[in-house]
Amino acid sequence: MELPDYVKARARSKDKVLREDYVLDDNLKSIGVGKKYFLKTYGCQMNEHDSENLKAMLEELGFVEVDDYNNADLVLLNTCSIRENAHNKAFGMLGRLKHVKESTNPDLIVGLCGCMAQEEGVVNELMHKYKWVNFVFGTHNIHRLPYILNDALQANKQQIEVLSREGNIIEGIPVKRASNHKAYVNIIYGCDKFCTYCIVPYTRGKQRSRDPKDIVKEVEELVKDGYKEVTLLGQNVNAYGKDFDYTYTMENLLEDVSKTGIPRIFFMTSHPWDFTDGMIDVISKCDNVMPYVHLPVQSGSSRILKLMGRRYTKESYLELFDKIRGRVPRVSISTDIIVGFPGEEEEDFLDTLDLVEHCKYDNAFTFIYSPRENTAAAKLANQVDESVKEERLQRLNSVVNKYFLENNQKLVGEVFPVLVEGVSSKKNELFGYTDTFKLINFEGDSSLIGEIINVKVVEAKTWSLDGEIVK
Ligand code: SAH
Ligand code: SF4
Ligand code: F3S
């Protein structure tokens, strides 16, 4: 049994991160034959991508995926810790699974992994109040799933294996991708920024960049398999390469990935602090690097940004924002904003609204501050009242939504290249994303799925566009 430990999770060792290849023992290859699994994913794209790996590993063991947990022999929850509501959802699901185990399927095997498994408090609760959860493993050892699961099947007692010291980088984990046209590609794991509100540096560990050769090889294979789009993933992609003992940066990586010929490259998330002029040049220069930047600001108050540990001010953020807008033609920019950080006064919030009025974001994810276990901000005394947070969120949303619609209205009549992703819930309509990452619906034949086609915007809505195919 190995339990999470926040002291170890905070430590950033100078040890070199080692690269290992995934291996699966032959004698495990049939432990899932004849059995069904249900996997539920919470959280960000990184978790979604981890789930693509988890699914492929389970299928190598013989398990078959089902979409209803009532029919499953194994249920795995890949969890998220970012805000309280992510926690509540996972614990709510555990409640439903307990009921299934008690009523219809006493042999059900339940596992929990992902970011919540890295939390001391959560694992304590699982050990004492959820003893029926069969196994728990963290974000650093997802490649160990076959082994931990096998132990859980054999031992008949709760198995917990959570590393708090970051693991090695494991290459060659199989992957069952959610799409045949677009793919997530990890480029950097972990985060060293320690923004004071954020639990990610504890749950994902030290910043570790994947070897560029492994990344380029993965994208080359995707190109061969007919993929049209990759999204390069990391909590802070701009820090890519900073942990190498040679000079190779995010700019170099974007250029090398661009040379693979993959038609569309997105990347996320960019921390404003590490965003270089060179990056801006590469985005504007490489045709297959898409003109879309997710640039989380979190707050428009320099005082709050300082308390958040974000390492930029309102002014320096705006300078960067305007530079990107000015130098990348047609660029669209989105953001994340938190309201109600401890000590946020009305004046600070008005600074945020003022920044939003300037930036007129194409999209924004807005959140109420949620205190997270063991983070610096959670220990601050002057927490903001829930009612004040709610009220600020509503005011913020009405401003950001106004600009989504205004920006979209300006696009009516313009033609965009769109990767057709599938059939939308509305009958006969296809949907996809523009090169500027705008969701667009249009009529067309399903044979176009997976193609990049030109679509003209005919109507603007707040969160999407309606278009028609340009022949
Ligand atoms: N690495 C990314 C963000 C990852 S988390 C970055 O630095 O920009 C995604 C978003 O969740 C953050 O941008 C932030 O807006 C929000 N978030 C993180 N911790 C939070 C907390 N404790 N309460 C509310 N929102 C939070
Ligand atoms: Fe969290 Fe900050 Fe790291 Fe983003 S950069 S993951 S907000 S600590
Ligand atoms: Fe959540 Fe972990 Fe992602 S906390 S947002 S799943 S890195």
pLDDT of residue 360: 98
Ligand nearest to the CA of 41: 3
- So what's the pLDDT on residue 424? 87
From CA 71, how far away is CA 94, in angstroms rounded? 16
Q: How confident is the model at residue 236 (pLDDT cuts 50, 70, 90)?
A: very high
Q: How far is the CA of 302 from the centre of ligand 1 (A)?
A: 17
pLDDT of residue 200: 97
Give CA–CA dist 370/205, Å, rounded: 20
Region 154-172 average pLDDT: 92
Please give the distance, rounded to the nearest whole angstrom, from the Cα atom of residue 337 to the centre of ligand 3.
16
Distance 37 CA to ligand 3 centre (A): 22
Percent of the chain with pLDDT over 70: 100
∠ at Cα 111 (107, 114), nearest 5°? 170
Cis link prior to 462 (omega < 30° from 0)?
no
Q: How far apart are CA 5 and CA 10, in angstroms?
A: 9
* Residue 428 binned pLDDT confidence (cut-offs 50, 70, 90): confident
Distances (CA, A) of 99 to 78, 92, 96, 218, 313: 19, 11, 5, 42, 50
Angle between helices 250-259 and 212-224 (to 10 degrees): 30
What does the pLDDT read at residue 387? 98
Predicted local confidence at residue 156, as pLDDT: 83
| 297 and 317 Cβ atoms separated by less than 8 Å | yes
- Residues 35 and 30: their CA atoms lie apart, in Å, by 10
* Mean pLDDT score of the chain: 96
**pLDDT surpassing 90 at residue 17:** no
47 CB within 6 A, ligand 1 = no
Amino acid (1-letter code) at residue 162: V
Instruction: Give 1's pLDDT tier (boundaries 50, 70, 90).
Output: confident
The answer to whether 310 touches 336, Cβ cutoff 8 Å, is no
Task: Report the distance separating Cα 366 and Cα 403, nearest Å.
Answer: 14
pLDDT of residue 471: 83
